[in-house]
Chain A
Amino acid sequence: MSRLGRAAAISAALLLLALLSLPLLALVTEGAPAILLGALGSPLVLAAVRVSLATSLCSLLLVLLLGTPLAWILAQRRSAALGAVELLVQLPIVLPPSLAGLALLFAFGRRGLLGALFAHAGFSLAFSPAAVILAQLFVASAFYVQVATNAFRAIDERLLSVARTLGCSPARVFFSVALPLSLRALLGGAALAWARALGEFGATLLFAGNLPGVTQTLPLAIYTALESDTRTAAALGLLLLIVALLLLLLARRSAAGLLTRWSSR
Protein backbone atom coordinates (compact mmCIF):
# COMPACT_ATOMS: atom_id res chain seq x y z
CA MET A 1 0.00 0.00 0.00
CA SER A 2 2.71 2.46 0.91
CA ARG A 3 4.54 1.65 -2.31
CA LEU A 4 1.31 2.19 -4.20
CA GLY A 5 0.83 5.44 -2.32
CA ARG A 6 4.29 6.63 -3.23
CA ALA A 7 3.75 5.74 -6.89
CA ALA A 8 0.50 7.69 -6.88
CA ALA A 9 2.16 10.68 -5.28
CA ILE A 10 5.01 10.62 -7.79
CA SER A 11 2.60 10.29 -10.73
CA ALA A 12 0.53 13.18 -9.46
CA ALA A 13 3.65 15.31 -9.03
CA LEU A 14 4.93 14.39 -12.49
CA LEU A 15 1.57 15.19 -14.05
CA LEU A 16 1.55 18.66 -12.54
CA LEU A 17 5.18 19.18 -13.58
CA ALA A 18 4.31 18.21 -17.14
CA LEU A 19 1.32 20.54 -17.16
CA LEU A 20 3.52 23.38 -15.95
CA SER A 21 6.58 22.74 -18.08
CA LEU A 22 5.09 21.75 -21.45
CA PRO A 23 3.59 25.17 -22.26
CA LEU A 24 6.89 26.82 -21.34
CA LEU A 25 8.81 24.32 -23.44
CA ALA A 26 6.45 24.98 -26.36
CA LEU A 27 7.07 28.69 -25.95
CA VAL A 28 10.80 28.04 -26.22
CA THR A 29 10.49 25.85 -29.33
CA GLU A 30 8.17 28.38 -30.98
CA GLY A 31 9.91 31.51 -29.80
CA ALA A 32 13.58 30.62 -30.20
CA PRO A 33 13.53 30.20 -34.02
CA ALA A 34 11.40 33.35 -34.29
CA ILE A 35 13.97 35.34 -32.29
CA LEU A 36 16.80 33.92 -34.40
CA LEU A 37 14.90 34.94 -37.53
CA GLY A 38 14.85 38.50 -36.27
CA ALA A 39 11.24 38.79 -35.11
CA LEU A 40 12.33 41.15 -32.35
CA GLY A 41 13.81 43.78 -34.67
CA SER A 42 10.56 45.45 -35.68
CA PRO A 43 9.94 49.04 -34.53
CA LEU A 44 6.75 47.95 -32.78
CA VAL A 45 8.68 45.48 -30.64
CA LEU A 46 11.35 48.05 -29.78
CA ALA A 47 8.64 50.57 -28.87
CA ALA A 48 6.96 48.00 -26.60
CA VAL A 49 10.27 47.17 -24.90
CA ARG A 50 10.85 50.87 -24.31
CA VAL A 51 7.36 51.46 -22.89
CA SER A 52 7.61 48.36 -20.71
CA LEU A 53 11.02 49.28 -19.30
CA ALA A 54 10.12 52.91 -18.66
CA THR A 55 6.77 52.25 -17.01
CA SER A 56 7.84 49.23 -14.96
CA LEU A 57 10.94 51.01 -13.64
CA CYS A 58 8.79 53.98 -12.64
CA SER A 59 6.27 51.76 -10.90
CA LEU A 60 9.10 49.84 -9.21
CA LEU A 61 10.55 53.09 -7.90
CA LEU A 62 7.12 54.09 -6.55
CA VAL A 63 6.65 50.65 -5.00
CA LEU A 64 9.99 51.01 -3.18
CA LEU A 65 9.44 54.60 -2.08
CA LEU A 66 5.86 54.09 -0.89
CA GLY A 67 5.97 50.41 0.02
CA THR A 68 9.01 50.42 2.29
CA PRO A 69 7.54 52.83 4.88
CA LEU A 70 4.25 50.91 4.80
CA ALA A 71 6.05 47.60 5.34
CA TRP A 72 8.08 49.13 8.20
CA ILE A 73 4.90 50.36 9.91
CA LEU A 74 3.18 47.00 9.40
CA ALA A 75 6.18 45.19 10.87
CA GLN A 76 6.48 47.45 13.92
CA ARG A 77 3.30 46.55 15.68
CA ARG A 78 0.26 44.39 15.31
CA SER A 79 -3.33 45.52 15.65
CA ALA A 80 -6.67 44.70 14.10
CA ALA A 81 -6.50 47.85 12.01
CA LEU A 82 -3.02 47.04 10.73
CA GLY A 83 -4.17 43.49 10.02
CA ALA A 84 -6.93 44.95 7.87
CA VAL A 85 -4.40 47.16 6.11
CA GLU A 86 -2.23 44.12 5.39
CA LEU A 87 -5.23 42.31 3.94
CA LEU A 88 -6.04 45.33 1.78
CA VAL A 89 -2.48 45.45 0.47
CA GLN A 90 -2.59 41.75 -0.41
CA LEU A 91 -5.99 41.87 -2.11
CA PRO A 92 -4.72 42.89 -5.58
CA ILE A 93 -2.73 39.63 -5.73
CA VAL A 94 -5.94 37.63 -5.92
CA LEU A 95 -8.11 40.11 -7.85
CA PRO A 96 -8.77 39.25 -11.50
CA PRO A 97 -6.79 41.80 -13.57
CA SER A 98 -9.88 42.86 -15.51
CA LEU A 99 -11.55 43.72 -12.22
CA ALA A 100 -8.48 45.70 -11.20
CA GLY A 101 -8.68 47.64 -14.47
CA LEU A 102 -12.35 48.39 -14.00
CA ALA A 103 -11.81 49.46 -10.38
CA LEU A 104 -9.00 51.79 -11.48
CA LEU A 105 -11.28 53.29 -14.14
CA PHE A 106 -14.05 53.86 -11.59
CA ALA A 107 -11.57 55.55 -9.24
CA PHE A 108 -9.18 57.45 -11.48
CA GLY A 109 -10.93 57.49 -14.88
CA ARG A 110 -12.23 60.73 -16.36
CA ARG A 111 -15.66 59.92 -14.98
CA GLY A 112 -14.30 58.16 -11.90
CA LEU A 113 -14.40 59.23 -8.25
CA LEU A 114 -11.34 61.46 -8.62
CA GLY A 115 -11.82 62.23 -12.30
CA ALA A 116 -13.46 65.62 -11.76
CA LEU A 117 -10.77 66.56 -9.27
CA PHE A 118 -8.04 65.63 -11.74
CA ALA A 119 -9.78 67.57 -14.52
CA HIS A 120 -9.99 70.58 -12.22
CA ALA A 121 -6.28 70.31 -11.53
CA GLY A 122 -5.80 70.28 -15.28
CA PHE A 123 -4.47 66.80 -15.84
CA SER A 124 -5.86 63.50 -16.96
CA LEU A 125 -4.52 60.00 -16.63
CA ALA A 126 -6.57 58.73 -19.58
CA PHE A 127 -4.50 56.72 -22.06
CA SER A 128 -1.21 57.99 -20.64
CA PRO A 129 1.91 56.11 -19.53
CA ALA A 130 1.01 57.35 -16.04
CA ALA A 131 -2.11 55.18 -16.21
CA VAL A 132 0.09 52.19 -17.11
CA ILE A 133 2.31 52.95 -14.12
CA LEU A 134 -0.71 53.21 -11.82
CA ALA A 135 -2.06 49.86 -13.05
CA GLN A 136 1.33 48.23 -12.45
CA LEU A 137 1.62 49.83 -9.02
CA PHE A 138 -1.84 48.53 -8.13
CA VAL A 139 -1.11 44.91 -9.00
CA ALA A 140 2.59 44.70 -8.11
CA SER A 141 3.06 46.57 -4.83
CA ALA A 142 1.62 43.75 -2.72
CA PHE A 143 4.48 41.45 -3.74
CA TYR A 144 7.09 43.86 -2.42
CA VAL A 145 5.21 45.03 0.67
CA GLN A 146 4.58 41.46 1.80
CA VAL A 147 8.22 40.39 1.45
CA ALA A 148 9.46 43.62 3.02
CA THR A 149 7.07 43.32 5.97
CA ASN A 150 8.23 39.76 6.64
CA ALA A 151 11.88 40.81 6.36
CA PHE A 152 11.42 43.66 8.83
CA ARG A 153 9.57 41.34 11.21
CA ALA A 154 12.44 38.86 11.03
CA ILE A 155 14.94 41.39 12.38
CA ASP A 156 15.99 40.56 15.93
CA GLU A 157 14.13 43.06 18.09
CA ARG A 158 17.14 43.22 20.46
CA LEU A 159 19.30 44.79 17.73
CA LEU A 160 16.77 47.58 17.28
CA SER A 161 16.50 48.06 21.08
CA VAL A 162 20.26 48.28 21.45
CA ALA A 163 20.41 50.89 18.68
CA ARG A 164 17.69 52.90 20.41
CA THR A 165 19.36 52.72 23.83
CA LEU A 166 22.58 53.90 22.21
CA GLY A 167 20.69 57.04 21.26
CA CYS A 168 19.82 56.38 17.64
CA SER A 169 16.87 58.33 16.29
CA PRO A 170 14.04 56.21 14.82
CA ALA A 171 15.18 57.25 11.37
CA ARG A 172 18.75 56.19 12.12
CA VAL A 173 17.52 52.87 13.55
CA PHE A 174 15.74 52.27 10.26
CA PHE A 175 18.49 53.40 7.88
CA SER A 176 21.54 52.10 9.78
CA VAL A 177 20.16 48.87 11.25
CA ALA A 178 16.88 47.65 9.76
CA LEU A 179 17.53 48.55 6.14
CA PRO A 180 21.01 46.98 5.82
CA LEU A 181 19.82 43.83 7.61
CA SER A 182 16.85 43.42 5.24
CA LEU A 183 18.46 44.61 2.04
CA ARG A 184 18.68 41.22 0.36
CA ALA A 185 15.08 40.37 1.11
CA LEU A 186 13.95 43.80 -0.06
CA LEU A 187 15.85 43.23 -3.28
CA GLY A 188 14.05 39.91 -3.72
CA GLY A 189 10.67 41.54 -3.10
CA ALA A 190 11.55 44.26 -5.55
CA ALA A 191 12.45 41.64 -8.18
CA LEU A 192 9.06 39.94 -7.68
CA ALA A 193 7.20 43.24 -7.90
CA TRP A 194 9.13 44.23 -11.00
CA ALA A 195 8.36 40.89 -12.66
CA ARG A 196 4.67 41.32 -11.87
CA ALA A 197 4.68 44.90 -13.19
CA LEU A 198 6.40 43.79 -16.41
CA GLY A 199 3.80 41.09 -16.90
CA GLU A 200 0.78 43.29 -16.18
CA PHE A 201 -1.81 42.95 -18.92
CA GLY A 202 -5.51 43.03 -18.10
CA ALA A 203 -5.63 46.11 -15.90
CA THR A 204 -3.39 48.02 -18.31
CA LEU A 205 -5.54 47.17 -21.33
CA LEU A 206 -8.73 48.31 -19.59
CA PHE A 207 -7.37 51.29 -17.73
CA ALA A 208 -4.64 52.67 -19.99
CA GLY A 209 -5.63 51.44 -23.42
CA ASN A 210 -3.36 50.11 -26.13
CA LEU A 211 -1.35 52.55 -28.23
CA PRO A 212 2.06 51.57 -29.65
CA GLY A 213 4.85 53.70 -28.21
CA VAL A 214 2.66 55.23 -25.49
CA THR A 215 0.78 52.62 -23.48
CA GLN A 216 1.46 49.41 -25.40
CA THR A 217 3.66 47.36 -23.07
CA LEU A 218 5.23 44.01 -24.00
CA PRO A 219 2.26 41.89 -22.83
CA LEU A 220 -0.13 44.10 -24.80
CA ALA A 221 2.15 43.91 -27.84
CA ILE A 222 2.18 40.12 -27.53
CA TYR A 223 -1.60 40.05 -27.46
CA THR A 224 -1.94 42.46 -30.37
CA ALA A 225 0.75 40.70 -32.43
CA LEU A 226 -0.80 37.32 -31.71
CA GLU A 227 -3.70 38.23 -33.90
CA SER A 228 -1.67 38.84 -37.02
CA ASP A 229 1.71 37.36 -36.37
CA THR A 230 2.09 34.43 -33.97
CA ARG A 231 5.83 34.35 -34.68
CA THR A 232 6.46 37.79 -33.21
CA ALA A 233 4.15 36.98 -30.31
CA ALA A 234 6.12 33.82 -29.54
CA ALA A 235 9.43 35.68 -29.77
CA LEU A 236 8.19 38.41 -27.44
CA GLY A 237 6.76 35.77 -25.13
CA LEU A 238 10.08 33.99 -24.87
CA LEU A 239 11.83 37.29 -24.17
CA LEU A 240 9.44 38.03 -21.32
CA LEU A 241 9.78 34.46 -20.03
CA ILE A 242 13.56 34.82 -19.80
CA VAL A 243 13.31 38.16 -18.00
CA ALA A 244 10.70 36.74 -15.60
CA LEU A 245 12.90 33.72 -14.91
CA LEU A 246 15.91 35.92 -14.14
CA LEU A 247 13.86 38.08 -11.78
CA LEU A 248 12.47 35.01 -10.05
CA LEU A 249 15.98 33.61 -9.60
CA LEU A 250 17.05 36.93 -8.12
CA ALA A 251 14.08 36.88 -5.75
CA ARG A 252 14.78 33.30 -4.68
CA ARG A 253 18.48 33.96 -4.10
CA SER A 254 17.58 36.87 -1.87
CA ALA A 255 15.05 34.81 0.03
CA ALA A 256 17.57 31.98 0.42
CA GLY A 257 20.12 34.47 1.73
CA LEU A 258 17.64 35.61 4.33
CA LEU A 259 16.90 32.04 5.42
CA THR A 260 20.53 30.95 5.78
CA ARG A 261 21.36 34.11 7.67
CA TRP A 262 18.63 33.37 10.19
CA SER A 263 19.26 29.67 10.53
CA SER A 264 22.96 30.27 11.19
CA ARG A 265 22.11 32.58 14.04
Chain B
Amino acid sequence: MSARGSLRALLVVALLFASPAHAADAPARDAEKSLPPAPSAVRGPLVVFAASSLHEGMTALGHRFTAATGLDVRFNFAGSQELRTQLEQGAQADLFVSADRRHAEALEQAGLVLAPTLFARNRLTIVVRRGNPEGVQTLADLAGLAHLAIGAHEVPVGAYAEQLLALADKRRPGLAAHITAKISSRELNVRQVLMKVALGEADAGIVYATDARAMATRVAEVPLPPELALRTDDLIAIASHAQNPPGASAFIAFVLSAAGQAELSALGFSGPELP
Protein backbone atom coordinates (compact mmCIF):
# COMPACT_ATOMS: atom_id res chain seq x y z
CA MET B 1 0.00 0.00 0.00
CA SER B 2 1.38 3.41 -0.91
CA ALA B 3 1.81 6.12 1.71
CA ARG B 4 -1.13 8.02 0.26
CA GLY B 5 -3.20 4.87 0.17
CA SER B 6 -2.54 4.18 3.81
CA LEU B 7 -3.42 7.78 4.67
CA ARG B 8 -6.74 7.38 2.90
CA ALA B 9 -7.37 4.08 4.66
CA LEU B 10 -6.71 5.71 8.01
CA LEU B 11 -9.09 8.55 7.30
CA VAL B 12 -11.77 6.07 6.27
CA VAL B 13 -11.23 4.20 9.51
CA ALA B 14 -11.37 7.47 11.41
CA LEU B 15 -14.71 8.33 9.83
CA LEU B 16 -16.04 4.84 10.48
CA PHE B 17 -15.16 5.07 14.16
CA ALA B 18 -16.48 8.58 14.56
CA SER B 19 -20.04 7.72 15.48
CA PRO B 20 -22.32 10.75 15.16
CA ALA B 21 -24.09 9.75 18.40
CA HIS B 22 -21.20 11.22 20.33
CA ALA B 23 -21.34 14.93 20.83
CA ALA B 24 -17.84 14.75 22.19
CA ASP B 25 -16.55 13.95 18.72
CA ALA B 26 -16.68 17.59 17.76
CA PRO B 27 -13.52 18.65 19.61
CA ALA B 28 -11.64 15.79 17.97
CA ARG B 29 -12.65 17.02 14.53
CA ASP B 30 -11.56 20.47 15.55
CA ALA B 31 -8.26 18.97 16.52
CA GLU B 32 -8.01 17.40 13.08
CA LYS B 33 -8.79 20.69 11.40
CA SER B 34 -6.13 22.49 13.37
CA LEU B 35 -3.51 19.98 12.28
CA PRO B 36 -0.95 21.14 9.79
CA PRO B 37 -1.45 19.37 6.47
CA ALA B 38 0.68 16.25 6.51
CA PRO B 39 3.23 16.39 3.71
CA SER B 40 3.29 12.63 3.55
CA ALA B 41 1.80 10.18 5.97
CA VAL B 42 4.39 8.15 7.77
CA ARG B 43 3.56 4.51 8.15
CA GLY B 44 5.64 4.06 11.27
CA PRO B 45 4.09 3.07 14.58
CA LEU B 46 2.01 5.49 16.63
CA VAL B 47 3.87 6.55 19.76
CA VAL B 48 1.49 7.28 22.64
CA PHE B 49 2.66 8.86 25.91
CA ALA B 50 -0.05 7.88 28.37
CA ALA B 51 -0.71 8.45 32.07
CA SER B 52 -0.14 5.44 34.35
CA SER B 53 -3.81 5.22 35.28
CA LEU B 54 -4.68 4.62 31.62
CA HIS B 55 -2.43 1.55 31.40
CA GLU B 56 -5.14 -1.08 30.87
CA GLY B 57 -7.49 1.27 29.03
CA MET B 58 -4.97 2.49 26.48
CA THR B 59 -3.44 -0.95 26.01
CA ALA B 60 -6.88 -2.40 25.22
CA LEU B 61 -7.69 0.48 22.88
CA GLY B 62 -4.30 0.07 21.21
CA HIS B 63 -4.93 -3.62 20.49
CA ARG B 64 -8.34 -2.88 19.01
CA PHE B 65 -6.94 -0.02 16.94
CA THR B 66 -4.07 -2.13 15.62
CA ALA B 67 -6.48 -4.91 14.72
CA ALA B 68 -8.67 -2.47 12.80
CA THR B 69 -5.98 -0.43 11.04
CA GLY B 70 -2.85 -2.54 11.01
CA LEU B 71 -1.05 0.41 12.54
CA ASP B 72 1.28 -0.50 15.38
CA VAL B 73 0.77 1.46 18.63
CA ARG B 74 3.57 1.83 21.15
CA PHE B 75 3.04 3.17 24.66
CA ASN B 76 5.17 5.01 27.13
CA PHE B 77 3.37 4.88 30.49
CA ALA B 78 4.39 7.16 33.37
CA GLY B 79 2.95 9.87 35.56
CA SER B 80 1.40 12.64 33.42
CA GLN B 81 3.88 15.15 34.86
CA GLU B 82 6.81 12.94 33.89
CA LEU B 83 5.52 12.55 30.33
CA ARG B 84 5.01 16.30 30.19
CA THR B 85 8.63 16.87 31.21
CA GLN B 86 9.78 14.41 28.57
CA LEU B 87 7.77 16.22 25.89
CA GLU B 88 9.10 19.57 27.10
CA GLN B 89 12.61 18.19 26.76
CA GLY B 90 11.94 17.21 23.16
CA ALA B 91 10.77 13.61 23.35
CA GLN B 92 9.08 12.40 20.17
CA ALA B 93 5.47 11.29 20.49
CA ASP B 94 2.30 11.29 18.39
CA LEU B 95 -0.19 11.48 21.23
CA PHE B 96 -0.25 12.62 24.83
CA VAL B 97 -2.81 11.16 27.22
CA SER B 98 -3.04 13.06 30.49
CA ALA B 99 -4.85 12.19 33.70
CA ASP B 100 -5.63 15.84 34.38
CA ARG B 101 -6.19 19.16 32.63
CA ARG B 102 -3.23 20.90 34.25
CA HIS B 103 -0.50 19.06 32.36
CA ALA B 104 -2.41 18.83 29.06
CA GLU B 105 -3.14 22.56 29.08
CA ALA B 106 0.40 23.48 30.06
CA LEU B 107 1.69 21.57 27.05
CA GLU B 108 -0.95 23.17 24.83
CA GLN B 109 0.17 26.62 25.98
CA ALA B 110 3.76 25.68 25.29
CA GLY B 111 2.68 24.78 21.76
CA LEU B 112 3.70 21.16 22.18
CA VAL B 113 0.27 19.57 21.82
CA LEU B 114 -2.87 20.60 19.96
CA ALA B 115 -6.39 20.95 21.36
CA PRO B 116 -6.54 18.47 24.28
CA THR B 117 -9.85 16.60 24.16
CA LEU B 118 -11.71 15.19 27.15
CA PHE B 119 -12.28 11.51 26.32
CA ALA B 120 -13.05 9.86 29.66
CA ARG B 121 -13.64 10.58 33.28
CA ASN B 122 -12.54 8.73 36.34
CA ARG B 123 -13.31 9.13 40.03
CA LEU B 124 -11.17 9.17 43.12
CA THR B 125 -11.42 6.34 45.60
CA ILE B 126 -9.72 4.84 48.64
CA VAL B 127 -7.90 1.53 48.42
CA VAL B 128 -6.91 -0.44 51.48
CA ARG B 129 -5.04 -3.67 52.04
CA ARG B 130 -6.78 -6.85 50.93
CA GLY B 131 -9.55 -7.82 53.34
CA ASN B 132 -9.58 -4.32 54.81
CA PRO B 133 -7.83 -5.39 58.06
CA GLU B 134 -8.17 -1.92 59.60
CA GLY B 135 -11.88 -1.77 58.83
CA VAL B 136 -11.73 1.52 56.96
CA GLN B 137 -15.26 2.74 56.18
CA THR B 138 -14.92 6.45 55.54
CA LEU B 139 -12.36 9.04 54.54
CA ALA B 140 -12.11 10.12 58.18
CA ASP B 141 -10.94 6.60 59.11
CA LEU B 142 -7.69 7.30 57.21
CA ALA B 143 -6.66 9.54 60.12
CA GLY B 144 -6.50 6.43 62.31
CA LEU B 145 -4.08 4.49 60.12
CA ALA B 146 -0.31 4.20 60.42
CA HIS B 147 0.71 4.67 56.79
CA LEU B 148 -1.13 6.42 54.00
CA ALA B 149 0.28 6.68 50.47
CA ILE B 150 -0.87 9.35 48.01
CA GLY B 151 0.50 10.88 44.85
CA ALA B 152 2.98 13.74 44.96
CA HIS B 153 1.55 17.20 44.34
CA GLU B 154 3.02 17.17 40.81
CA VAL B 155 1.21 13.93 39.90
CA PRO B 156 -2.45 14.29 38.82
CA VAL B 157 -3.69 11.74 41.35
CA GLY B 158 -1.80 13.58 44.09
CA ALA B 159 -3.28 16.95 43.15
CA TYR B 160 -6.76 15.42 43.03
CA ALA B 161 -6.19 13.86 46.46
CA GLU B 162 -5.28 17.29 47.83
CA GLN B 163 -8.50 18.67 46.33
CA LEU B 164 -10.42 15.85 47.96
CA LEU B 165 -8.89 16.58 51.36
CA ALA B 166 -9.68 20.29 50.99
CA LEU B 167 -13.26 19.41 50.10
CA ALA B 168 -13.60 17.10 53.09
CA ASP B 169 -12.01 19.71 55.34
CA LYS B 170 -14.79 22.18 54.49
CA ARG B 171 -17.36 19.69 55.76
CA ARG B 172 -15.32 18.71 58.77
CA PRO B 173 -12.69 21.30 59.67
CA GLY B 174 -9.39 19.82 60.82
CA LEU B 175 -9.88 16.51 59.02
CA ALA B 176 -7.39 17.29 56.25
CA ALA B 177 -4.62 18.02 58.75
CA HIS B 178 -5.32 14.77 60.61
CA ILE B 179 -5.18 12.73 57.43
CA THR B 180 -2.17 14.59 56.04
CA ALA B 181 -0.28 13.71 59.24
CA LYS B 182 -0.63 10.04 58.28
CA ILE B 183 0.83 10.43 54.79
CA SER B 184 3.94 8.26 54.71
CA SER B 185 4.84 8.61 51.06
CA ARG B 186 4.10 10.84 48.10
CA GLU B 187 4.51 8.58 45.10
CA LEU B 188 5.42 9.65 41.58
CA ASN B 189 2.59 7.92 39.76
CA VAL B 190 -0.71 6.35 40.72
CA ARG B 191 0.51 2.80 40.17
CA GLN B 192 3.22 3.25 42.77
CA VAL B 193 0.53 4.31 45.26
CA LEU B 194 -1.41 1.19 44.33
CA MET B 195 1.71 -0.99 44.60
CA LYS B 196 2.50 0.28 48.10
CA VAL B 197 -0.98 -0.77 49.25
CA ALA B 198 -0.96 -4.06 47.31
CA LEU B 199 2.35 -5.04 48.94
CA GLY B 200 0.97 -4.06 52.33
CA GLU B 201 3.57 -1.37 53.06
CA ALA B 202 0.88 1.30 53.16
CA ASP B 203 -2.44 0.72 54.91
CA ALA B 204 -4.36 2.80 52.41
CA GLY B 205 -3.94 4.96 49.35
CA ILE B 206 -5.96 7.41 47.31
CA VAL B 207 -6.17 6.32 43.67
CA TYR B 208 -8.63 6.25 40.77
CA ALA B 209 -11.58 3.87 40.79
CA THR B 210 -10.22 2.15 37.67
CA ASP B 211 -6.94 1.41 39.46
CA ALA B 212 -8.80 -0.19 42.35
CA ARG B 213 -10.65 -2.32 39.83
CA ALA B 214 -7.48 -3.23 37.91
CA MET B 215 -5.92 -4.62 41.10
CA ALA B 216 -9.11 -5.86 42.77
CA THR B 217 -7.48 -9.16 43.73
CA ARG B 218 -4.75 -7.46 45.79
CA VAL B 219 -6.46 -4.42 47.29
CA ALA B 220 -9.96 -3.61 48.56
CA GLU B 221 -11.83 -0.50 47.53
CA VAL B 222 -13.58 1.76 50.02
CA PRO B 223 -15.74 3.96 47.79
CA LEU B 224 -16.13 7.61 48.72
CA PRO B 225 -19.65 9.03 49.14
CA PRO B 226 -20.91 10.72 45.96
CA GLU B 227 -20.33 14.22 47.34
CA LEU B 228 -16.62 13.42 47.87
CA ALA B 229 -15.96 11.08 44.93
CA LEU B 230 -14.12 13.69 42.92
CA ARG B 231 -14.60 13.34 39.17
CA THR B 232 -11.34 13.51 37.27
CA ASP B 233 -10.61 14.29 33.65
CA ASP B 234 -8.64 12.23 31.13
CA LEU B 235 -7.55 14.13 28.05
CA ILE B 236 -5.92 13.14 24.81
CA ALA B 237 -4.03 15.45 22.44
CA ILE B 238 -1.98 15.22 19.29
CA ALA B 239 1.63 16.24 19.71
CA SER B 240 2.59 19.25 17.60
CA HIS B 241 5.59 17.37 16.26
CA ALA B 242 3.71 14.12 15.65
CA GLN B 243 5.34 11.89 13.04
CA ASN B 244 2.01 10.47 12.03
CA PRO B 245 -0.77 13.10 12.40
CA PRO B 246 -3.40 11.18 10.39
CA GLY B 247 -2.77 8.06 12.44
CA ALA B 248 -2.96 10.12 15.64
CA SER B 249 -6.28 11.68 14.58
CA ALA B 250 -7.65 8.29 13.70
CA PHE B 251 -6.66 7.01 17.15
CA ILE B 252 -8.44 9.91 18.86
CA ALA B 253 -11.53 9.31 16.74
CA PHE B 254 -11.43 5.65 17.74
CA VAL B 255 -11.09 6.51 21.44
CA LEU B 256 -14.16 8.77 21.17
CA SER B 257 -16.15 6.31 19.07
CA ALA B 258 -18.86 4.06 20.55
CA ALA B 259 -16.49 1.08 20.31
CA GLY B 260 -13.68 2.90 22.07
CA GLN B 261 -15.94 4.26 24.76
CA ALA B 262 -17.40 0.80 25.38
CA GLU B 263 -13.87 -0.52 25.89
CA LEU B 264 -13.15 2.21 28.47
CA SER B 265 -16.50 1.82 30.16
CA ALA B 266 -15.82 -1.90 30.66
CA LEU B 267 -12.75 -0.88 32.68
CA GLY B 268 -14.77 1.51 34.85
CA PHE B 269 -14.24 4.85 33.10
CA SER B 270 -17.18 7.19 32.52
CA GLY B 271 -17.87 8.90 29.24
CA PRO B 272 -16.76 12.50 28.74
CA GLU B 273 -20.33 13.81 28.46
CA LEU B 274 -21.10 13.20 32.14
CA PRO B 275 -20.92 16.29 34.33
Cβ of A240 to closest chain B Cβ, rounded Å:
18
10 inter-chain pairs at a CB distance below 8 angstroms, sorted by A residue, are: A110-B200, A111-B199, A209-B186, A209-B202, A210-B152, A227-B82, A227-B85, A227-B155, A227-B188, A228-B153
Q: Is the CB of B81 within 8 A of A110?
A: no
Residue pairs across A and B with CB atoms within 8 Å: the count is 67
Which residues of chain B are near A227, meaning CB under 8 Å?
Answer: 79, 81-82, 84-85, 152, 154-155, 188
Which residues of chain A are near B89, meaning CB under 8 Å?
Answer: 230
Q: Is the CB of B79 within 8 A of A211?
A: no
In the complex, what distance in Å separates the CA atom of A211 from the CA atom of B202?
A: 13
Q: Is the CB of A209 within 8 A of B188?
A: no
Q: Is B201 an interface residue (CB 8 A)?
A: yes
In the complex, what distance in Å separates the CA atom of A223 from the CA atom of B85?
A: 11
Enumerate B180-201 residues with CB–CB distance to A below 8 Å. 183-188, 192, 196, 199-201
Which among B154, B196, B199 is the interface contact of A224 at CB below 8 angstroms?
A: B154
Given A126-B184, A209-B187, A228-B154 contact (CB < 8 Å) = yes
Q: Is B149 an interface residue (CB 8 A)?
A: yes
Q: Is A105 an interface residue (CB 8 A)?
A: yes
Q: Is A226 an interface residue (CB 8 A)?
A: yes
In the complex, what distance in Å separates the CA atom of A233 from the CA atom of B152?
A: 16
Q: Is A205 an interface residue (CB 8 A)?
A: yes
Cβ of A80 to closest chain B Cβ, rounded Å:
36
Q: Is the CB of A209 within 8 A of B185?
A: yes
Q: Is A109 an interface residue (CB 8 A)?
A: yes
Which residues of chain B are near A206, meaning CB under 8 Å?
Answer: 192
Interface contacts beyond A126-B147, A228-B153: sample of 8 additional A-B pairs, CB < 8 Å, sorted by A: A111-B201, A115-B200, A209-B185, A209-B186, A210-B188, A224-B154, A227-B84, A227-B155
Q: Is the CB of B200 within 8 A of A211?
A: no
Which residues of chain A are near B153, meaning CB under 8 Å?
Answer: 228
Q: Is the CB of A126 within 8 A of B201?
A: yes
Assign chain B's interface to a size class.
20 to 34
- Classify the interface of chain A: helix, strand, loop or mixed: loop
Q: Is A215 an interface residue (CB 8 A)?
A: yes
Interface size on A, residues (CB 8 A): 22
Residue-wise interface mask of A (219-250) relative to B, using a CB-CB cutoff of 8 A (1 in contact, 0 not): 00001101110100000000000000000000
Q: Is the CB of B184 within 8 A of A127?
A: yes
Which residues of chain B are near A209, meaning CB under 8 Å?
Answer: 149, 184-187, 196, 201-202
Which residues of chain B are near A228, meaning CB under 8 Å?
Answer: 81, 153-154
In the complex, what distance in Å separates the CA atom of A61 from the CA atom of B153?
A: 34
Cβ of A97 to closest chain B Cβ, rounded Å:
14
In the complex, what distance in Å separates the CA atom of A227 from the CA atom of B88?
A: 10
Cβ of B201 to closest chain A Cβ, rounded Å:
5
Cβ of A68 to closest chain B Cβ, rounded Å:
32
Enumerate B201-221 residues with CB–CB distance to A below 8 Å. 201-202
Cβ of A265 to closest chain B Cβ, rounded Å:
52
Q: Is the CB of A110 within 8 A of B85?
A: no
Q: Is the CB of B200 within 8 A of A109?
A: yes
